[in-house]
Each structure stands twice: as structure tokens, then as C-alpha cells.
Amino acid sequence: MIYTLPNSSNKNLANVRLEIRALQPQLIEWRRHIHQKPELGFQEKLTAEYITQKLQTWGIEHQTGIAETGIVAIIKGEKSGDGKVLGIRADMDALPIQEENQVSYCSQHDGVMHACGHDGHTAIALGTAYYLHQHRYDFSGTVKIIFQPAEEGPGGAKPMIKAGVLKNPDVDAMIGLHLWNDLPVGTVAVKPGAFMAAISIFNCTIFGKGGHGALPHQTVDSIIVAAQIVNALQTIVSRNVNPLDAAVVTIGELHAGTRMNVIADTARMSGSIRYFNTDLRDVFESRIEEIIAGICKIHGATYRLDYQNLYPPVINDSEIANLVKNAAEKVVETPVNILPEYQILGSEDMSFFLQEVPGCYFFLGSANAEKNLNYPHHHPKFDFDETALVIGVEMFVKCVEKFLN
């Protein structure tokens, strides 16, 4: 296959080695193919087939069907040395969003879209697998590339760990990246310690008593109860959490009523809670129920609450974070493009891997405002600067060389 070299004056590619840079047209082709066939969590069948077919063609050892659609590719280094094992994780799932981009590689699946960049993660992981297999004489030890389903929920990391992906050979450390449109292409955010937040979620139904809009004294208005609950829940962060601990409560759904002159008998809401400090897990769980129960009681309403602690926080190991930072210093153009203090209250089930083995999750800048490629993740017009793909491969390859040599 003949690859054409992209424009070498591109400043974001300044330090990316030529051999990896030459993969860029392929990376873009793979990413766009996956982008056109987006699939929801645990339904990534076409995506998994595409990955499997590539690994087969290249002669890379792999296992399929792990936690439904997950795949593990195993690349053994042929250089003599100690046999450490590095895991690299890429998520494959898309979101239930109707794409609004007018591009040739637009989603062909109605109502489903790669609006978080996981198509890019999969392409970067494929490029890394291809390059490392070609250069297996340059490193010792083993690289396990884990293609994971359902990151957007309900979570594919936990069942993959349960299925034994970190065993045989046992993974010593894990790395992973997220393309990130809050940062310009050519930047890397990597931080030891808490990097992304834990998430808990809840669904709540308020049961009041419906009736005529002109006769409120005969009813229990579930909308009044729900409105007070929504407001009161915001006092948990402002009054029960240490102001030095970052946390957020978001009510993302509130549904009630059918008509302007009918008092609604039920109201339903759902929300998510994010925090770094895991001591807050029980605080949120108990305060949320206390507030809902208390407000329902004073109004004579009842409730049903389903509460779930979903993902723990993403905690990076300081040694592996340092390794990623050193890799970034070689790849991105200048040190100012490395952000060592960046954190967000977003959540990721990469955290389950990092609970099992030391590792590091980092952000790879992917926005380009000049090209209008800076819509936020989960937006129907989300798209990213594909230059980031080749930078992602170089980052992973640098980390492998540092960890396994």
C-alpha cells in the first residue's frame, strides 16, 4: 500500500515521526468508516467485525466476543528483556444522537452518532496495533490493546475485567486517552491523581394526587413538590460539601403533567452527581434521599427513588502519569502544550481498570476553531481535527517504548 505524506508544514505534526505520520491517511479512512457505522453500547457488532478483520489481515493475535463485543489484541515484543505487560484501552461505542454534520462520512445509522470521538479512539488503537506489530523487534514485553464496548453506559470496562482481560499475561499498567474538544489539537492534558470524577445517578418518581387546576386544595401537586426538590438538591453541594471539594449535582430530566388546567399526580426526574472525593459517595446518597423524603412528607406526597453509584473517579498513578508526560514532551510541539493541572468533572469507566492496576488516562486536544471543529462532545455537530489521530498513535507508541524498554 502506498501512503502519501501529509503536508509536513503542519505545526501540530512537527515532532511526530515520519513513519507514524505516513499512517495518517489510513487512520482517517478507518475513523471515517467507523464514524459512518456508529453502534450503541454492547451492540458494536460491525465495529468489532471491522477491527477483527484488520487484526486478522495484519496477523495480530486477538480474542473476540469478550463482554459481548469487546476485543483484545496481543502484540508480543521480540526484543530480549524483561516481560512487562502494558495495556492500552480504546472505547468503541456511539451515542443515541442524530448527527447534524454535513460531511461525506456522516452517520448512516439513524439516530446514532459517534459524538464523543470513540471512532477516533478505535482508529488510534488500530494504528498503534499496526505500528507495534511492524516494530515488534524494537521492544520487549507485551502490549495488550483492549477494545472496550459501552463506555457511555452501562459500562463495558467492569465486565471485561471480570472476563479476565487483565490476566494471562497479567497487565502491569494501563494507559488510555480521550480526544478532547475543550483543548486545541496539539495539546495533551495529563495529571497525576484525580483526573476525572466519580458519577452516581438516580431516578425519582413523586406520587401526589391529581385533580382540577381550579381546586388545588383537593390535590397534592407533584409539580410543586418536584420543583422544591430540584432547588433543595442544589444545597447539597453548597451546604454539605467542603467548598474545597469539587462536586456537581445536575437534574437532567423533569417530566410532569399533561394539560394547563390539570394538577399532575406524578412527576419524574433523573439526575447525575459528580465528585472526586469518594468520601462524598455516602453523603450524596443519604442527603438526596433525606431531601426527597422530607419535602414529600411536608406535602403529603410519596416517592420511589432508584440510586446507583456508577463509576469511581479516574485516579492516575504518579509514575505512569509522569511517563505519559515525558512521552508528550517528545510528541507535542512545545511544553506549553502540556497541561499538568487539567481536571474535569466528567466521568469514565476507564476508572475500573485504574482500580485494578496502576495507569494513566489523559486527554488529547482535538479542537480546531479555524475549521469549525470545536463543538462540544455529545453535540449533534461534534467533529474533531483528524490530525489528532496520528498524534494519538505517536503518544501510545512513545509510552510503549518507555515502559517496555
Residues with catalytic roles: 93, 151
What residues from 299 to 318 belong to the interface with Zn ion (CB under 5 A)?
none
- The nearest distance, CB 349 to Zn ion, in angstroms, is 10
Q: With respect to Zn ion, which residue has the nearer C-beta, 85 or 364?
A: 364
Question: Cell 468489532, residue?
Answer: 48
Identify whether the C-beta of residue 281 lies closer than 8 Å to the C-beta of residue 262.
no
Strands 211-212 and 302-311: unpaired
What residues from 114 to 133 belong to the interface with Zn ion (CB under 5 A)?
116
- The nearest distance, CB 101 to Zn ion, in angstroms, is 17
Contacts of 332 (CB under 8 A, 6+ apart): 12, 15, 186, 187, 188, 338, 391
- The nearest distance, CB 92 to Zn ion, in angstroms, is 11
How many residues touch Zn ion (CB under 5 A)?
1
Q: Point out which span in 66-74, 113-121, 305-313, 318-326 binds Zn ion (CB under 5 A).
A: 113-121
- The nearest distance, CB 133 to Zn ion, in angstroms, is 26
Nearest residue to Zn ion, by Cβ distance, number only: 116
Q: With respect to Zn ion, which residue has the nearer C-beta, 116 or 185?
A: 116
Pull the grid cell for residue 387: 490530525
Cβ count near 257 (within 10 Å) = 15
Identify whether the C-beta of residue 6 lies closer than 8 Å to the C-beta of residue 22.
no
Pull the grid cell for residue 321: 502519569
196 binds Zn ion (CB under 5 A): no
Q: With respect to Zn ion, which residue has the nearer C-beta, 116 or 150?
A: 116
Q: With respect to Zn ion, which residue has the nearer C-beta, 116 or 132?
A: 116
Backbone dihedral region of 378: left (phi > 0), alpha (psi from -120 to 50 degrees) or beta? left
One-letter amino acid of 339: L
Q: Point out which span in 1-9, 108-116, 133-141, 241-249 binds Zn ion (CB under 5 A).
A: 108-116
Pull the grid cell for residue 278: 469518594
Q: With respect to Zn ion, which residue has the nearer C-beta, 326 or 343?
A: 343
Chain positions contacting Zn ion, by CB under 5 A? 116
